[in-house]
Chain A
């Protein structure tokens, strides 16, 4: 049994099972943004309790929306999070904020500065997980920003280099994941988009993942002080999401990472990079991006079926998971929903065709081009 099988619904209609899920973020309801403005307005009576209630309502709403779309594994759409580094930096000792910085155009984020050694302070995601798990009968995935991205997308004022910072953050991520596992989480996705910006650092990301999953730091291995960490149990599914980059610079090295699944953005590039993963053999589960998160049009069910079949060129059905390319939070909400609903329908159709033996996809290394 792979870690994927535990998420198969009991009443699943097909023999084949292509787990459907999302990367994590989802457009926030407009009223939630309005509620936040009210909460931040000192002249308004909308208080912390009201703001908490609004976030709870939004989390329930989006989890339900994921269920209505038919997803096998749901998320709360990260309704409590503003941005993938900022959210965590607010909860880690050692960070401070100095103002927004540019990403592109007029899109900014509050890039934090690490001003002293980072320390675990308060729970990051346990409350969020417990709330979502109680709000749904379906399995819940927990996306968590990876230590390499937390280090790389921060200003580093305190550490010799970003590598040392990333390793310290990895120990904190390990601590959080252990708490999540204790709380019942069985599917955790580590988001490392920064890996695509600095692919030469894949070894650092690998070392971070070793620290997270195995819970063994370099000092433990060399007989140094132990942090009494036992690592993540085998039945817990660990995924790694990497988006938007030249994957040939990190493959096949990433196959050595101690994770069960890689979640990749490929629809955005029209699967031009698919061949990268065919040779050598893809030995992990592939969570294939089958909807483009950067295009505000809903792909047809037929189009998504074709995209899913691209994944079958890389892995057999039992290793395939279906998701959008990336978080969908920048899309209009009805478009995000449309993409998910069509994605689920397409996945079920492909499963049916697989059951009926009607899909014949050649898998493996691409045929060399004729000279």
Chain B
């Protein structure tokens, strides 16, 4: 029987009170973004906000609880932006969104940081008995968002990023699932040769945990070869953004098959229109109708993208919808 797991890819919006408080505490300029050694007052604000977003995930009834990545001012580039071996420079565009982050420029060996592990430790305490999900940028996307001035070779740089992320994962507290977010696999698809290396890099990170690993690309579908190579990595599930592109994602599933588990991005992480839980459940059925597979071990139900794009109230509503949709799907499957 399929296990339907409601979850999110992390990177939540800050609660509105925290937006105001942290604006006042930190300021609005490039030099005011998170550095990894923020003071007590700022840390306390993030602690309170973290507690709140973990609480609402529990209230919504999500099957996986994430930390929320509220400190990630630089979105997916965060693990590098706070790293000692990295200098942050100008503000650059975050993919084709109207969001910006500091360009991280790697200037030395990427040794162990522990920044994300520390956040997860706090989240684990707050989550109580709920199943914790860790979230990281995938190695290909993190390398794509950064500039290398140290390793000097694209392949070496990607491998170094993968080793760095693997080292971070090893320090994580117990977690049920690890989501690796890989939008660059769609937005800046790797060419021949690089696609294989991207898959190997993901394998490196995935091998660092016993948890189930989900690789979640978004803003479209993977190119065929990229998808085929990704299936070679030792991962448990590939994610599909069915909001941005249904046709090509179905094609990949039909032509190349799938992992034993899949992650379906069926709720729109970038639009305030709140989906109906039944409609999401119906979309799950629609996916099944398109492909020869009759059953997956696990189906993760999630938003297609991070949710920090949303106003906080709409974000809360989306969480509740995902939890309800997973319950409906499970009831129907039973």
Q: Which residues of A contact B (CB under 8 A)?
A: 98-108, 111, 113, 152-153, 155-157, 194, 197-198, 244, 294
Contacts and interface: CB of A to CB of B under 8 A. Distances in A.
A102 B32 contact: no
11 contacts: A98-B313, A98-B314, A99-B311, A101-B13, A103-B99, A106-B26, A106-B28, A108-B19, A194-B98, A197-B96, A198-B96
Given A105-B32, A106-B19, A155-B272, A99 B96 contact: no
A99 B308 contact: no
A198 to B, nearest CB: 6
A7 to B, nearest CB: 32
Given A100-B16, A197-B98, 18 more contacts: A98-B272, A98-B311, A101-B13, A101-B309, A101-B310, A101-B311, A104-B94, A104-B100, A105-B26, A106-B19, A106-B28, A106-B32, A111-B311, A113-B273, A155-B270, A157-B272, A157-B273, A197-B96
B314 A103 contact: no
B33 A105 contact: yes
A244 B270 CA distance: 22
B73 interface: yes
The secondary-structure label for the interface of chain B is: loop
Interface in B20-42: 22-23, 26-30, 32-33
A103 B101 CA distance: 9
A111 B23 CA distance: 18
Given A104-B101, A197-B96, A99 B309 contact: no
Given A101-B309, A155-B272, A197-B93, A106 B16 contact: no
B312 interface: yes
Contact of B271 (A105, A107, A155): A155
A157 B99 CA distance: 21
A294 B100 CA distance: 14
B155 interface: no
Contacts of A244: 93
A219 B112 CA distance: 61
Contacts of B312: 99
A328 to B, nearest CB: 15
Interface string B293-324: 00000000000000011111110000000000
Interface in B45-80: 73
Contacts of A103: 98-100
B184 to A, nearest CB: 17
Contacts of B44: none
B91 interface: yes
A102 B30 contact: no
A294 B31 CA distance: 13
Contacts of B19: 100, 106, 108
A229 B43 CA distance: 57
Interface string B97-122: 11111000000000000000000000
Contacts of A108: 19, 23
